[in-house]
Structure 1
Amino acid sequence: MTIQRIQVTDARFPFGEGMGSDAIHRTPVYSYAVTTLANGDAAGTGLAFTLGDGNDLVCRAVEHLSRQLVGRDIEEIMHDFGALQRSLANDEKYRWLGPHKGVVHLALASITNACWDLWAKRRGVPLWRLLLDLSPEELVATLDLSYLDDALTRDEAIEIVRSQQHSRTERESVLDRGYPGYDTSVGWFGYDDEKLRDNCRRSLDCGFRALKLKVGSAEMDRDLRRVEIVREAAGWDVRFMVDANQQWSLPRALEFGRRTGDYNLYWIEEPTHPDDVFAHQTLARELGAHKIAAGEHVPNRVVFKNYLQAGSLGFCQVDALRVAGVSEFIVVSMLAKKYGVPVAPHVGDMGQLHQHLVLFNHIALGHDALFLEYIPHLQQHFRHPCRVEQGVYRTPQESGASCDLISLS
């Protein structure tokens, strides 16, 4: 299956009032930089996620970085994709804009995800099945492990997969029962207190047993009041997380953590600036490592390595639309497995792709089947929207990565 043409699309989806809002982003426009790798018989679709303005810059970077894929067969590309991804990431004209972060890395995510989608369609299987069918050596050949020699070598990566093979069948039941979800859409920052209560009741009625609330107000009393509302509405047997979206300084985050000690928060997400590994280390030490979740804005495997080496993460929220796509997601998942940290991906309304990756994480790498974020606002735009029933993601059966957009088909 030869790539004959590459199409890049700037797709944007405005929201209603309050939807998608957090302490930093008050009027988000959920957007995808879409890479389409076209063949006469099929097309691979890859997405990177942004919040509107600037999406066009990611598209321009995709156009530049993807040129060398034209005329190449997808099987040949994926045979040694790790080397190709390293080459694209180190493009000498674009590397100065990163390296390995920002606009150019988002572009690489879109390209990489399109390659994986096309490969799965070429083999006629869902992405999760393709990943599970690869041998440890074939899988690791798709990964760029550069700059990780001190934490994860090629041989170690192969052994992580191989060591789990004898017990894989014990975990394959997740394919039948589905993967648990948690509901973020109950507690957007712009929602008033009554809507918050109503959303909690609705979410519980839909079968969710874990909820998340956006915090990070200028006045902490507002955050504390909203925490109390959700805990009272949801009850004490529901897992309850909060997300500050990087709004706080370290002292402010510590204050919040101490003042919410009686509410049994499952985690505090993005409590401060994502580049401040040591601040997260302090929070993990002072509040309990299991309380700290981050990864939505951690741009690459090297920074994740630093987080994990420093003991700064209780939950790893790697996002395959933020790092360099499926391949770098898998690298970070392997690092997290080595350091004993569970993976609960950030979704940003892309459960479409991550529903495949969490199945791989659980079955092939032995990660716990914790739960996957659920944000339903763009479901109607996908050809094969993920199915969530009674709070559980049902296993996708269509070939590919479930990322085809109706408006582009």
Structure 2
Amino acid sequence: MISAINIKDRRFKLDSGAGSDAIHRDPVYSYAVTELIDDSGITGTGFAFTLGEGNDLVCKAAAFYAEQLKGKDIEELMHHFGKVFNQLSNEQQFRWLGPHKGVVHLALASVTNACYDLWAKKRGVPLWKLLIDLSPEQIVNTLDLSYIEDELTRAEAIQLLQDKQGSKSERSGIIESGYPGYDTSIGWFSYDDEKVRANCKKAIEEGFTAMKLKVGSADPQRDIRRSNIVREVAGSDVKVMLDANQQWTLPQALSICKELQSMQPYWIEEPTHPDDVLAHMTLADTIAPIKLALGEHVPNKVIFKNYLQADCAGFIQVDAVRVGGVSEFITVSLMCKKYGIPVVPHVGDMGQLHQHLVLFNHIAMGHEALFLEHIPHLQKHFVHPAVIKNGVYQTPQVAGSTCELKNQ
């Protein structure tokens, strides 16, 4: 049973310009870490992602949630984790601070992810294998479908998974071949044109066939110039994504996205405020067939449901260290599967956790294996850093979710 907890505030300064975008110019990549220690000495590690200030607030909230799990057996806890998640997320006083968003929901993600890590470690398998081997009923038992039953009932969720059970072996080859990645570090916002050009060439040499550029400049001509540099270096066969990090108002987005269409972006990401579903509907209709990608700052399954209902998201970027953890990630993935929308996670975890989840999405749920974002800046801080070779994530084989951080 869970006998002790540790909560840690871990912050990592980045090299000059790294991580910068149109809104977040000087980020400090940070994790609110939860460690759940069971009486056999096994530690489950989970975290939520922030950019520095306020990480301590998430840690305080995570401690509140984690304390409620002490004395519980992890197998019993995960057998009905959907109910546990529902109870914790609706705790009356903390719910007032959300509901289901912000500091308290990030804290719940940290604790939830630690539960899944401990579960996999107790069974002695990587998280991806644990999830793939569970029955559809066992998976759905870990989910909280409240507020989305109008789009996804328990029976529908089980059926979506059941429909893919017989063909899992057809998709299991990806365990050996690895999951494709894309380079999101070629064009951080603060990088000058020549560094962007050099990074594009390096990414291609390293085997990446997709890459992303930060846009959202005060002068739109800077965005147009930089995007054309990437397209020129990458060529027509490489997928190039553009990410505005919510910088534009709708009128601005309508204007500049039309100009950016000529360089044929694979998607335009977070073009405007993430709560403004109707603005995304208007923009998506205007710039079609160019598609929008969103989800980095969508806080919960309910807002994702609204985006899917509005039919304006071409790609969903749900992040398990930004929503309520693995449980809510899987819930959103199931809704996306029903709607036929690809899931391409944002990786606030630097890919450590999501390399497991995309394998589950593909093998157990039948999602297309497009690619997974790769951000290299914190690799040296992980005990088992994600391994990327020739632009491809190599399947992790150690037990758990590969989220342990080195003690420094």
| Aligned: 1:269 with 2:266 | no
Q: Does residue 34 of structure 2 align to residue 24 of structure 1?
A: no
Higher deviation after alignment, 34-43 or 375-384 = 34-43
Q: Secondary structure at the match of 1:351?
A: coil
Would you say the 8 A contact 2:265–2:290 is kept in 1? no
| Residue in 2 that maps onto 1:43 | 43
2:288 and 2:368 mapped to 1: Cα distance? 20
Aligned residue number for residue 176 of structure 2: 176
Cα displacement (A) at 1:348: 2.7
State the match for 2:119 in structure 1.
119
Secondary structure of the equivalent of 1:362?
Answer: helix
1:14-163 mapped onto 2 (5 Å cutoff): 14-39=13-38, 40-163=40-163
Distance in 1 (CA, whole Å) between partners of 2:183 and 2:122 is 33
Cα distance in 2 for partners of 1:336, 1:283 equals 20
Unaligned runs of 5+ in 2: none
Q: CA deviation digits over 1:287-346, x for unaligned, max 9?
A: 126510000000000000000001020000000001100000000000001011000000
TM superposition shift of 1:196: 0.6
SS of equivalent residue, structure 2 residue 251: helix
Aligned to 1:185: 185
Shift of residue 173 of structure 1? 0.6
8 Å CA contact 2:268, 2:290 repeated in 1: no
The answer to whether the 8 Å contact 1:42/1:118 transfers is: yes
- Inter-partner Cα distance in structure 1 for 2:295 and 2:289: 15
Partner of 1:328: 328
1:7 maps to a residue whose letter is N
1:132-172 deviation digits (Å, cap 9, x = unpaired) = 11111011000000011110000000000000111111110
Q: CA deviation at 1:349?
A: 4.6
* Farther off after superposition, 293-302 or 64-73: 64-73
Give the distance between the partners of 1:34 and 1:114, measured in 2 at CA: 9
Structure 1: gaps spanning 5 or more residues:
none
Residue identity in the other structure for 2:33: V
Once residues 232 and 290 of structure 1 are traced to their aligned partners in structure 2, the CA distance between those partners, rounded to angstroms, is 19
Distance 1:95 1:65 in 2: 12
Distance across 1 between alignment mates of 2:354 and 2:60: 25
Preserved contact between residue 298 and residue 318 of structure 1 (Cα < 8 Å): yes
| Structure-2 separation of matches of 1:126 and 1:38 | 18
Aligned residues of 2:128 and 2:356 also touching (Cα < 8 A)? yes
SS of 1:4 mapped into structure 2: strand
Q: TM-score by structure 2 length? A: 0.99
Asked if 2 retains the 8 angstrom alpha-carbon contact of 1:10 and 1:59, the reply is yes
AA matched with 2:22: A
- Structure 2 counterpart SS, 1:12: strand
2:20·2:26 contact (CA, 8 Å) conserved in 1? Answer: yes
Counterpart of 1:36 in structure 2: which amino acid? E
The alignment-based identity, stated in percent, is: 63
Aligned counterpart, 1:378: 378
Displacement of 1:41 in angstroms is 2.2
394-403 or 165-174: bigger deviation: 165-174
| Matching residue of 1:389 | 389
Q: Residues 345 and 372 of structure 1 are in contact (CA less than 8 Å); yes or no, is this contact kept in structure 2? A: yes
Shift of the 377–349 alpha-carbon distance from structure 1 to 2, 3 Å rule, reads farther
Deviations 1:34-80 (CA, angstroms, capped at 9, x unpaired): 00001242100001000000000000101112211001110011010
Aligned to 1:10: 9
What is the deviation of 1:350?
Answer: 2.4
Kindly tell me: are residues 368 and 329 of structure 1, through their superposed partners in 2, closer, same or farther at Cα, counting changes over 3 Å? same
- Shift in CA distance, 157/247, structure 1 to aligned 2, threshold 3 Å: same
Q: In 1, distance between residues paired with 2:234 and 2:189?
A: 18
Q: Which shifted more, 65-74 or 29-38? A: 65-74
User: Segments of 4+ in structure 1 off by > 4 A?
Assistant: none
What secondary structure, in the 3-state scheme, does the structure 1 residue paired with 2:241 have?
Answer: strand
Q: Secondary structure at the match of 1:34?
A: strand
Q: Name the counterpart of 1:407.
A: 407
In 2, Cα distance between equivalents of 1:49 and 1:292: 23
Aligned length: 407
Please say if residues 350 and 376 of structure 2, whose CA atoms lie closer than 8 Å, have aligned partners that are also in contact: no
Residues 70 and 290 (structure 1 numbering): CA distance in 2 closer, same or farther, change over 3 Å? farther
- The equivalent of 2:256 in structure 1 is 256
Task: Find the counterpart in structure 2 of residue 194 from structure 1.
Answer: 194
Once the two structures are superposed, residues 172-202 of structure 1 have per-residue CA deviations (whole angstroms, 9 ceiling, x without a partner) of 0110110000000101000001101110011
Give the whole-Å Cα distance in 1 for the aligned partners of 2:150 and 2:285. Answer: 24
Letter in 2 for 1:145: L
